[in-house]
Amino acid sequence: MKMKLQEVYSALKIKADNIPDVQITGVCFDSREAKDGDLFFPLQGERDGHEFINSAIENGAAASVWQNDHGIPNKKIPYVAVDDVMKAFDTLAKYYLAKVNPKVVAVTGSNGKTTTKDMIASILAVSNNVAKTPQNFNNEIGVPFTILNMPINTEVLVVEMGMDRPGQIDHLSDLANPDVSVITMIGEAHIEFFGTRDKIADAKMEITHHLQEDGLFIYDGDEPLLNERVENVQQRSETFGRNDNNTIFATEVKSDKNQTTFKTNLWPDVEFTIPIMGEYNVNNAMAALLVGQRYHIKVSAMQEALTHLYVTENRTEWLKAKNGADVLSDVYNSNPTAASEVLDNLKNLQTGRKLVVLGDMLELGDSSKKLHESLSSHIDPKDFQKVYLVGDEMKALYDLLVQKYDSQDLSWYSKDQLEKLTEDINKELNSNDTILLKASHGIHLENVLHELI
């Protein structure tokens, strides 16, 4: 970003005299992250952002936005007075997006958003100046932040969009006006707030509401809920999946601990490699390949980009326990789709004994008991020799698994018994074992992980 404070006033349609001659080179909303040249937006969080304006300036911010209902601003610092800070954030983002005028690829989905975003950005960066959502900054604050911090020479912007309520994706799509919209899949994440997968699908489809007229919609063609709704999309659509009626489908999929390889119908003789575990990541890669094809990236270049992929936030990561055991950790996120996929992939790995620690999957509402029970079909003593379950919701799964497991191989703990869980695992875990830890962050399995490694 690069603009004078005078241009910020103009973009926000604010008339003022004697505007300081200040150069703005970025934006921030966390005063601790303020850099030289930033414009600070004092957004309302648990505390009022206006409390941190002075801190932002001390840390290098060149100017601050100031909301009119907060009294007289500190005139010792350059400021922009507005009626609504959040609306000003959005308005400036739309202005800057139009000024830079990149192609925009928007990505949403119940799982795989961040990985797919990284795959798309890696492929398009072969022949374009690409900017992308940092980490998982995918909400009402993260999307305008992403837009406003892209370099002025950006040719393609890859934007991740998350949601936890209806209308949220519509708003984000309106901000970004994508040229390509991607839905990775429809799962059960946040079903507590939506009630049904049908309503989740409706909310995800909002990513097409502001798709450019000549835009492209890319989605999981194996998902009936999306196939039903695509009839209402006027723009061209392409699909990925495992079924052979998709635009692109996978063949010869092989996965091990550190990488996954696959071929596709579009390039039958080309083997793609992604440096992450999980056959479920093949769908994410195929979505990225369709985006790359849209922008005329050579298949050899796409192959190379995926091979050397860097994933921003690979929540599922391999670690080593203190005793040498392999630890597959995903202690910050879990939902039924993600949990079943990682279980299915882990059981196919050729390793020694396998142990599983599963904590509650949160935000599943009235469906929680049934969805926790659904994991039973993915867990069997021949695949996973020891199972440890944590949390009130996991009690439903425990009650089913007692029919399969001997009592010494299946344990349940309340979420305040993590110390006892850690003690029991340490007694059991051998150096040639593999152990999975997966739960929603609210269960705090990271405390168990810390003790193991």
Give the separation between CA 132 and CA 445, rounded to whole angstroms.
Answer: 30
Find out whether 45 is annotated in a ligand binding site: no
Length of the chain: 453
Find out whether 111 is annotated in a ligand binding site: yes
Find out whether 195 is annotated in a ligand binding site: no
Number of Cα atoms under 13 Å in the Cβ half of residue 253 = 18
Sheet of 260-264: strands edge to edge?
130-132, 156-160, 103-108, 180-183, 216-220, 236-241, 248-255, 260-264, 272-274
Give the pairing of strands 260-264 and 248-255: antiparallel
Contact between 253 and 282 (Cβ < 8 Å): yes
**In Å, how far are 112, 151, 221 from 313, measured between CA atoms?**
10, 22, 26
Burial class (CB in 10 A: 0-12, 13-18, 19+), 250: buried
Give the separation between CA 435 and CA 429, rounded to whole angstroms.
Answer: 8
Contact between 437 and 449 (Cβ < 8 Å): yes
Residue type, 261: T
Give the separation between CA 128 and CA 333, rounded to whole angstroms.
Answer: 32
Residue type, 387: V
Nearest to 205 by CA among 108, 335, 337: 108
Backbone angles phi, psi at 136, to 5 degrees: -125, 50
Backbone angles phi, psi at 229, to 5 degrees: -85, -20
How many Å is the Cα radius of gyration of the chain? 24
Find out whether 112 is annotated in a ligand binding site: yes
DSSP 13-27: T---SS----EE-EE
Give the separation between CA 371 and CA 366, rounded to whole angstroms.
Answer: 10
Find out whether 115 is annotated in a ligand binding site: yes
Contact between 175 and 147 (Cβ < 8 Å): yes
Find out whether 109 is annotated in a ligand binding site: yes
Backbone angles phi, psi at 325, to 5 degrees: -65, 150
Binding residue numbers for ATP:
109-115
Binding residue numbers:
109-115
